[in-house]
Structure 1
């Protein structure tokens, strides 16, 4: 059916009737008008199920409807009445499926049977579970005998703590630490940056801090799309008069205005709440310069206070007792000129000084950020700079203050906590050796970018994927897809069909699993699992929906069966006992990390979750210096190092729509940006359109403009005039991933620099196809 195409500026708030209408459409489209309401009432509730979408915190006292628009879409997408049965796969070859849009692939519904790719017909054919596990085991054993490091075990951010623990153990028993996961593509910059600065790899705030804070600083995070339940505490802060200072290249509606769809008075009156008290549209990659400007203004305010005998602006006692490296950082800030700061940030001195004055007057502040900070070449430095700004006023380790990286996928943070990590120093390998009687590999494994490089070089023979859409999420799709077919084995554990399932290795299996929302009965007993939210609190989750097919297996069962088929028998690893009772997996997690998971089974249903102990919350700094460290940046902007010369090069930032979560495309309505019916658009500043001789509606090709000179293109893009900083443009992820060089990533963390991609825009004579 043809989609209606329109480009009309959206004037409404986030939330409100637009959100209600959107959910009504999706409920109808997924054919679950009766099943959805009784299930949604248990979403993110005590003794209910954790959302399969974002990782935002779950309150101890939840709202009557503790779900957001996108979280509800994720639920509807999973409980859909549509089914991708063997009959569907009998009708279409993989080559035919590859011509379908991403949305149409997943919209076929839930996978129902285990499938094996048949090279002769180029189709998936059904296979018995026992046969699938036997062949996967044979293939993995043969590869292990030849080279155990030539297998990769990838995990998306949805798997539970229990499944993740079993999965990391499978990989290490197999003989490697090749455990890339989705955090390698988003918040690995956080995991690298924060330990050096404050001694922990995660944020320090909890949900209660929003009730006590005096100021919120937002950098590169869009709650209206990526974590809409966050709009509730933001609205409460705004109503209390808490200043919310936002730095973001695009004006995102969720950071401008919000109308709470759970408030009858608001819905009837149409009265929304302003969110940001200041909104600064810095240029992509301008965060270091913007924060440097705020720091420079703080030092000047402190100088004035000292000279006048007023109370200091800097928290001198905290700085002297708890920090290291202030002198070098202060000297760098003072030596950095305002002209350089204005040039690199795209903001005026007056704007940054105004933001600093508000921050200086607040007794406490929370620094909030998302992938707008992490997905840059300077992503690690970006996060450390925000820590520097917070340290100047003692805003770590006190009520209402702290650093808050907002994680995306629902358990991506928790997976790292229980061992999904390529870095052996992050995992208690000696404890694993003691518990399971083997010698764990000590060599650093492959994260996402090194895994891609190894696949391109032909060094990887097997790729096991626990969820996710790896080939669509990584840069340089075409190169990766060509290399993928040279592998021997691909095993894809999934609930729905996606692009990664359509690029076969020599031996390819598609294994359907239970979703988190579904009843998981093992040994006659309903099982529960657990997740970690973005504030490092652990929650129980119990599925309540009937499984989509009687042929589905749980993720723990699938991991256990692969392990038993691929590994020598180890009497110390009770795979079957774990599958029969997930509480025993939690006992094993507690034995492995007794300081983090004490009384795990007893506490997993604590309202609001139980917090992991984080020393930085108590101003205990597990760093080399024993203090919180100021880290001085080497530069403010690295874009010139990666971009080809020329004033026709723009910075592309990839964005997600209101009808999307990661690579899952729920529909074609980007309501907040007024773009409907298509994703083949590039948003550009009016002055850049004039400069390049283009007009709104023109058809263009985006060409990569990296210094390596490689040809990278995304064609068939329609220009949309939009409020984007001059010299920048925006287009959708993952469609524009082919423009990101695999080597263009954050220093230290290797997160793809998807928010600052050098491109040129070329007029096209081809007709546009949406």
Structure 2
């Protein structure tokens, strides 16, 4: 299904205004009123994402060297207001509520209690959290960790922790004796790390901010820019205004990739002038991107043959292909053998749709490919990404100015954590260098990623779980089974700023440790400390908080990691936890020593405007693959989902609203989709509603249809007509996670396949109104 005029179907729920504009201002104002943040929030927003200022805790999009007056978006502002709330979750609150009672609260209401203020210990006898001292917590945690085999412990990291914290956390794990370091990347963009490494020799995207100033075309796949990374709309708008074309492939109509009104432009705000973002917008079937991309390649190859035959001019770049790639002829033969009937059936798009998109790619000298989890969170997500790289290699669109592959990542430092050692795969970490630096023998056995950690928790083999931020139990598949197994662990530790669902599912011994927020002043022995993070464009930024901490009892994440490590590990003269906590510059010096090519002169460059670029071999056309070349990959499948279509079976797309960030729910207004006051919806194509004998407003349930005999259900969803491809339904993450089998993941990366889950609609129908 292609959308030319981008008109809304009046019979479906939709938002009839652009992304941005007064709607964005109003949404920020609403959250401001709900949270009643401290007065310092205005100064923090003024400094947000600016050189020498505070780096947003929301998405990982790049920060320009010359920032706008307000270098934050709607979602970033909400995240800052949420952190600087005046609400406090104190020991008195926990004295009033048992943990069992709190399990009945929803995600929004739990976090609405405000900032955690004291270290807390779970008391099983009273089923309550009770306050404890930091010394008591560290001593108990250390004793529990020493009592078990290190390989029975899991150290999970959310994507918000700084480079400094992440480096020490990974070091703690390896000094302790394991590589069990799953992180939030395992649940979102791990497919990128695996697939890109295989085909271009680099695990991250190749574009930088300047590329958006010279590209001729941008192709988007499976990403909701308006909700998840609205600051990206600024360079997109500028690209469109100078003549670049944007082509979008997404099963869901996302307003941010349709029309944008810049809240920072007085002219646009006063006149109501909008910018049309996507030149072409195609609602591809969920999991149909491989077929769509194969169709694009098929058109490009046909255009190459026709132009060379008639004009002796190339469409593709044969010199680049010959010098820098392998596998072209095999890929070409496979694509040419695929029929258009197959492509149209699997993509849900017509041959003419794909020709329109291919023509934009053919005529553009420089193109950037951008994508989100709609492309990667499938059983064959890695194959889909390899197909996209095929298309980009045809014209040498990697390693030139104005080109590249650019994943749009979520958590603000999820990419950076991997850069400094948060990885379960030992081959990704310079273990020999760590051994020399710190005088120990690092573990060489592959550790547990998120899926494998969950499997080991279910089997009872994992005895301890430490969560450095995040909401792990809420974010993972198989939530019901996981919550039932979780209390069998001996030790659970959660490091957090606010209360969430994961803090209510406890092991026999459990601690809830409150940490400083990034916007708060981090005072240590040597003075105020800066921390650093890496954006999704591989640039490193310094961040300096300047707000009074929410409680005098808070510790920094660095200090908490060091406190646990000191209580757990034997003394080592080369491991100086106290000195590192006293001065984070010493941690950055360690990072530089471990990764000299990427972090040379680290401390000198912390506040480089726009961040300092740590480099990317593929951008330099150095292909760190076994062949020394970039790899074309013949498509093995045309659908990314892991099941066949059948009567009554739907492809469930999980999605986020523009009133949430990952598992954090700011409110119940999904303004950009026209959904207000609820998250309990089932979005369906009107024709599917009619064909199933359902009606708008009917309350139904979803049942997993994976065929493994496990009963997975979510009930209480209101049928809502929405513009989706036939056979696809949509609802919210993380509420739909119980429907995702733990084993249903990308074949190469084990990323949960949350964008194409097999489900059936279940009803206990009342009389039709």
Query: Is the structural similarity TM-score above 0.5?
Result: yes
1:91 to 80, 96, 116: 96
Task: State the secondary structure of the residue aligned to 1:682.
Answer: strand
SS of the aligned residue for 1:41 comes to helix
C-alpha separation in 1, matches of 2:653 and 2:285: 10
Distance 1:380 1:490 in 2: 33
* Counterpart check, 1:586 vs 2:591: no
Q: Distance in 2 between matches of 1:589 and 1:382?
A: 34
In the TM superposition, what is the alpha-carbon distance from 1:614 to its structure 2 partner?
1.0
What does residue 747 of structure 2 align with?
747
Counterpart CA distance in 2 for 1:465 and 1:443 is: 21
Q: Trace 1:523-542 onto structure 2 (pairs within 5 A).
A: 523-542=525-544
2:594, 2:649 → 1: CA distance? 51
Deviation at 1:516, TM superposition (A): 0.4
Residues 180, 422 of structure 1: 8 Å contact kept:
yes
Query: What is aligned with 2:715?
Result: 715
Which residue of the partner structure matches residue 635 of structure 2? 633
Question: What is the Cα deviation at residue 427 of structure 1?
Answer: 0.1
Whether the 8 Å contact between 2:49 and 2:72 is mirrored in structure 1 is: yes
Task: Map residues 74-473 of structure 1 onto 2, 5 A cutoff.
Answer: 74-143=79-148, 147-473=149-475
**TM-score of the superposed pair, with normalisation by structure 1:** 0.97
Secondary structure, in 3 states, of the residue corresponding to 1:409? coil
> Structure 1 regions of 5+ residues with no counterpart?
1-6
1:129-178 deviation digits (Å, cap 9, x = unpaired)? 111111111111111xxx21000000000000000000000000111000
Q: Residues 642 and 744 of structure 1 are in contact (CA less than 8 Å); yes or no, is this contact kept in structure 2?
A: no
Match of 1:47 in 2: 52
Which runs of no fewer than 5 residues in structure 2 stay unpaired? Answer: 1-11
Contact 1:699–1:766 (8 Å) recurs in 2: no
Q: Distance in 2 between matches of 1:701 and 1:766?
A: 14
What SS is found at the alignment partner of 2:389?
helix
Deviation at 1:8, TM superposition (A): 5.6
Distance in 2 of aligned mates of 1:180 and 1:693: 44
* TM, length-normalised to structure 2: 0.97
How far apart, in 2, do the equivalents of 1:605 and 1:47 lie?
A: 6
Contact 2:13 2:721 in 1 (8 A): no
**C-alpha displacement of 1:39:** 1.4
How far residue 631 of structure 1 moved from its aligned partner, in angstroms, is 1.5
DSSP 3-state at the match of 2:596: coil
Tell me, yes or no, if the aligned pair for 2:194 and 2:382 is still in contact at 8 Å. yes
Offset, 1:605: 0.9
State the 1:384 CA deviation.
1.1
Distance in 2 of aligned mates of 1:34 and 1:638: 48
- The 1-side partners of 2:252 and 2:511 are apart by 41
CA pair 696-104 structure 1, distance change in 2 beyond 3 A = same
Q: Is the 8 A contact 1:27 1:36 kept in 2?
A: no
Query: Tell me, what secondary structure is at the counterpart of 2:488?
Result: coil
How many matched pairs?
757
Q: Is contact 1:378-1:638 (8 Å) kept?
A: yes
- Comparing 306-315 with 466-475, which one deviates more in the overlay? 306-315
Q: Distance in 1 between matches of 2:408 and 2:656?
A: 15
- Partners in 2 of 1:677 and 1:686 — Cα distance? 22
Contact 1:716 1:766 in 2 (8 A): no
Deviations 1:233-279 (A, max 9, x none): 00001111211000000110000000000000100001110000000
Once superposed, what is the RMSD of the aligned Cα atoms?
A: 1.2
Which deviations, in whole Å up to 9, do the C-alpha atoms of 1:85-115 show, x marking residues without a partner? 0000000001110000100000100000000
In the alignment, which residue of structure 2 is the partner of 1:27? 32
The whole-number CA distance in structure 1 between the counterparts of 2:435 and 2:192 is 29
Assess if the C-alpha contact under 8 Å between 2:740 and 2:757 holds in 1.
yes
Tell me the distance in 1 between the aligned counterparts of 2:492 and 2:766: 37
- Distance of aligned partners of 1:638 and 1:14 in 2 relative to their CA distance in 1, 3 Å threshold: closer
- Give runs of aligned pairs for residues 593-608 of structure 1, distance below 5 A: 593-608=595-610
Aligned counterpart, 2:737:
737
Match of 2:705 in 1: 705
Tell me which residue corresponds to 2:64: 59
d(CA) in 2 for partners of 1:740, 1:181 = 19
Mark the CA change 1:580 to 1:394 in structure 2 (over 3 Å): closer, same or farther: same
Whether contact under 8 Å (1:369, 1:406) holds in the other structure is yes
State the distance in 1 between where 2:37 and 2:620 align.
47
* SS of residue in 2 equivalent to 1:596: helix
CA-to-aligned-CA distance 1:577-630 (integer Å, 9 cap, x gap): 000000000000000000110000001111001111211111111111111111
Mean CA deviation greater in 614-623 or 185-194: 614-623
- 1:656 is aligned to 656
Deviation for aligned residue 1:524: 5.0
